[in-house]
Amino acid sequence: MADCLFCKIVEGTIPAKKVHEDEHTLAFHDIAPHAPTHVLVIPRRHVPTLNDVTLEDRELMGSLLLSATKVARELGVADSGYRLVMNCNRDAGQTVFHVHVHVLGGRPLAWPPG
């Protein structure tokens, strides 16, 4: 989508501090981190929200989670612990309408989060 921030990052028109990329996903550091490790993992293909995911997106969603766990290992938080967060729509805190997973770690994380 022409006005999607994350699509522009995928296209390379907006810079990002990338930590992982493959044919289906791209991962980069969040510009306003909420933990010492805070990375966003996005699909290269635009999907606005989790409500827009279909059965045909099973492989894409699996790739998203596999990339998130790979990022956690590469950034050294896999063994100590990390959290994956996905928000769906405004009331849940989604601000960029392109499906994404937050990988948070590097410190003890509290529960409940909200």
Task: Find out whether 42 and 102 touch, Cβ atoms under 8 Å.
Answer: no
The residues, ordered by sequence, that sit 6+ positions from 13 with a Cβ below 8 Å of its Cβ are none
Calculate Rg over the CA atoms of the chain. Answer: 14
Task: Find out whether 41 and 25 touch, Cβ atoms under 8 Å.
Answer: yes
100 part of the active site: yes
* Among candidate residues 89, 106, 4, the one with its CA nearest the CA of residue 45: 4
Selected catalytic residue, list 24, 38, 98, 100: 100
**Residue 1, both tokens:** 């989508």
Question: Active-site residues: which are they?
Answer: 100
